[in-house]
Chain A
Amino acid sequence: MEPIRIAGGSSTEFGEFPNRTGREMFAEAGQGALEKAGIEPNEVDALYYGNFMGQDAENQGHQGPLMAESIATLDAPATRVESACASAGFAVAEGVKAIRSGSADVALVGGMERMNNLETEETTASLATAADDLYEIREGMTFPGAYALMAEAYFEEFGGSREDLAAIAVKNHENGATNPKAQFQFEITTEKVLDAPMVADPVGLFDACPITDGASAAVLTSESYAEEHGLDAPIAITGSGRGMDNLALQDRPAIAQTKAAEKAADVAYDEAGVGPDDVDLAEVHDCFTIAEVLALEGLGLFEPGEGISAAREGITSADGDLPVNLSGGLKAKGHPVGATGASQVVEMAQLLEGTHPNSDAVPDATVGVTHNAGGTVASVSVHVLEVVA
């Protein structure tokens, strides 16, 4: 498949910014990405924009034209993409598809979420709508609760402990501590994770990512456009896969395995012509600590039952064999749900390019994978990024 060049990427600072409007946050990220790419807004052929809870948070549907206004791309079609917390990963995938199809040379992809202007319970309720209303939400399921059910199922099938999960939180905070865009730029101890109040057993407060406001965007171009315009765009998306599963956990044969991630990874690896053994680093969807375990196994980076001990054994730490979530991940960098999938691609491109504050951990890396999951991993977008120039 034709590599799709990442000509520029940019994110707002992630954190608690309840007073920032969505349109202004996306303007900063989108304009920043265009500026880095050295591409004028009128060159953009399509905008794919991820957002999940805009109706609840800002009483705002129909965000495509609004966000196109914010970056002055009204001459190009703008589409809002919604796939819960995988909205922006799916937006990136749509951009890749548009360029490959020949209908676009330049696509702006990204996403935005404003969450902290609501009360925490309202945000919890809004996020819960990514689950099955009839058979999960009406029974009282929350997202921490859903991942707790997955964690318990995992423990039952493969073993594992809260200490294993705590090691993931500690690692991702270590990484986030040196990322100036991250919401949590501080380290935490295992004791702090284990002693935190329970949200939904065995998921404690520090097993969970924060509630985050932020936006992220990237400019994608065709190979020929990058060459003709002499763009400095050494990183490309070489594989883009998406996978789906039943919406409700109860309808899946195995609750502790994420088939959607396996399907998405198969497609992405196949397109890129790489396999899990070729991957140098990964940015995965660790909305809860158990989610990182499920992601690593879904991506084939660890065998089922082996992902649980990866962080505790140091394999996935910055100085390990396979650094995971060098950005801090959703856990420390933050999780503005509609922006996360784009943020992963932006951070990964910088890590591979050597321009990320944590790039020193991976000086020779050439292949990175991003994994963005929606709901209880009912939808997944996986991208393979490579150094191509």
Chain B
Amino acid sequence: MSDDEEPVKDAGYDEFLDALESGEGYYLESSDGQGWLPPRTVDPRTGDGDLTEKPLPDAGTVATKTIIRVPTPQFEVDVPFALAVVDFGPVKMTGQVRGVDPEAVDVGMQVEPTVETRETTDDRLIVFRPQE
């Protein structure tokens, strides 16, 4: 790949990160109100193909969390970091929690989603920061 070529994307996913980064995150809602993250063409539980983009709530609640201390090589410089699954109601999302001591991250904490980069490789990732 030469320098002037666009990097290869993961269609659906990269557009989602772009939107999340600019504060316009969304999820895909099935007919029964269940939410999923893209790329999806059906609700995996019902097979429902009628998925509609809905705005992601501005904040969610930490449903469960850990502190990663032994990382994969791609996160060597990032450790230790807090990793959480955050509940936004119709959909849950996984990401790192930043802007707070990892030890202080707790279930029930209100956080806002955004997109930042890994310290080790500079690749994008989903990040949560405490709600202001």
Interface residues, chain A, with chain B CB atoms under 8 Å away: 121-122, 124-125, 128, 134-142, 144-145, 148-150, 152-153, 156, 197-203, 246, 248-251, 255
**CB < 8 Å neighbour of B69 from A141, A153, A198:** A198
Bound together, the chains give a CA A198 to CA B125 distance in angstroms of 24
B window 95-132: CB within 8 A of A: 95-96, 107, 118, 123-126
Bound together, the chains give a CA A368 to CA B67 distance in angstroms of 37
In the bound complex, residues from chain A placing their C-beta under 8 Å from that of B7 are none
**Most chain B CB atoms below 10 A, which of A139, A141, A148:** A139
Known contacts A149-B66, A156-B107, A200-B67, A139 near B96 by CB under 8 Å? yes
In the bound complex, residues from chain A placing their C-beta under 8 Å from that of B126 are 135, 138-139
In the bound complex, residues from chain A placing their C-beta under 8 Å from that of B70 are 124, 142, 144, 199-200
| CB <8 Å contact, B72 and A128 | yes
How many whole Å from B90's CB to the nearest CB in chain A? 12
Q: Say if the beta carbon of B81 comes within 8 Å of chain A.
A: yes
How many whole Å from B66's CB to the nearest CB in chain A? 4
| CB <8 Å contact, B44 and A140 | no
- A-B CB contact pairs (8 Å), 11 listed: A124-B70, A134-B13, A135-B37, A135-B93, A139-B96, A140-B81, A142-B70, A142-B72, A145-B68, A248-B94, A249-B85
| CB <8 Å contact, A140 and B93 | no
In the bound complex, residues from chain A placing their C-beta under 8 Å from that of B91 are 250
Bound together, the chains give a CA A362 to CA B127 distance in angstroms of 50
Closest B residue by C-beta to A152: B64
**CB < 8 Å neighbour of A255 from B72, B73, B85:** B85
**CB < 8 Å neighbour of A149 from B65, B69, B81, B123:** B65
Bound together, the chains give a CA A142 to CA B75 distance in angstroms of 10
| CB <8 Å contact, A255 and B10 | no
A-B contact count (CB 8 A): 101
Dominant secondary structure of chain A at its interface with chain B: helix
A-B contacts besides A128-B72, A199-B69, A201-B66, 12 pairs, CB < 8 Å: A124-B70, A125-B74, A135-B126, A136-B94, A140-B118, A142-B71, A150-B64, A152-B65, A198-B69, A202-B66, A203-B66, A251-B92
In the bound complex, residues from chain B placing their C-beta under 8 Å from that of A156 are 64, 107
Q: Say if the beta carbon of B63 comes within 8 Å of chain A.
A: yes
Q: Say if the beta carbon of B51 comes within 8 Å of chain A.
A: no
Q: Say if the beta carbon of B78 comes within 8 Å of chain A.
A: yes
Closest B residue by C-beta to A154: B64
| CB <8 Å contact, B68 and A152 | no
| CB <8 Å contact, A135 and B94 | yes
Closest A residue by C-beta to B107: A156
The proximity string for B residues 42-68 relative to A, scoring 1 for CB distances below 8 Å and 0 otherwise, is 001000000000000000000111111
Q: Closest 9 interchain pairs by CB?
A: A148-B66, A153-B64, A125-B72, A250-B92, A140-B75, A201-B67, A152-B64, A149-B64, A200-B66
In the bound complex, residues from chain A placing their C-beta under 8 Å from that of B26 are none
Bound together, the chains give a CA A144 to CA B69 distance in angstroms of 10
**Most chain B CB atoms below 10 A, which of A121, A141, A153:** A141
In the bound complex, residues from chain A placing their C-beta under 8 Å from that of B68 are 140-142, 145, 200
In the bound complex, residues from chain B placing their C-beta under 8 Å from that of A153 are 63-64, 85
**Most chain A CB atoms below 10 A, which of B84, B92, B107:** B92
In the bound complex, residues from chain B placing their C-beta under 8 Å from that of A203 are 66
| CB <8 Å contact, A251 and B36 | yes
| CB <8 Å contact, B125 and A149 | no
Bound together, the chains give a CA A141 to CA B74 distance in angstroms of 11
B window 4-58: CB within 8 A of A: 10, 13, 36-37, 44
Bound together, the chains give a CA A148 to CA B70 distance in angstroms of 12
In the bound complex, residues from chain B placing their C-beta under 8 Å from that of A135 are 37, 93-94, 126
| CB <8 Å contact, A201 and B72 | no
In the bound complex, residues from chain A placing their C-beta under 8 Å from that of B93 are 135, 250
**CB < 8 Å neighbour of B66 from A152, A250, A251:** A152
Bound together, the chains give a CA A298 to CA B72 distance in angstroms of 29
| CB <8 Å contact, B72 and A139 | no
In the bound complex, residues from chain A placing their C-beta under 8 Å from that of B107 are 152, 156
In the bound complex, residues from chain B placing their C-beta under 8 Å from that of A150 are 64
In the bound complex, residues from chain B placing their C-beta under 8 Å from that of A246 are 44
| CB <8 Å contact, A141 and B67 | no
**Most chain A CB atoms below 10 A, which of B71, B72, B76:** B72
Closest A residue by C-beta to B92: A250
In the bound complex, residues from chain B placing their C-beta under 8 Å from that of A142 are 68, 70-72
| CB <8 Å contact, A124 and B72 | yes
Bound together, the chains give a CA A150 to CA B92 distance in angstroms of 14
| CB <8 Å contact, B85 and A149 | yes
How many whole Å from A353's CB to the nearest CB in chain B? 39
In the bound complex, residues from chain A placing their C-beta under 8 Å from that of B10 are 134
Bound together, the chains give a CA A248 to CA B44 distance in angstroms of 12
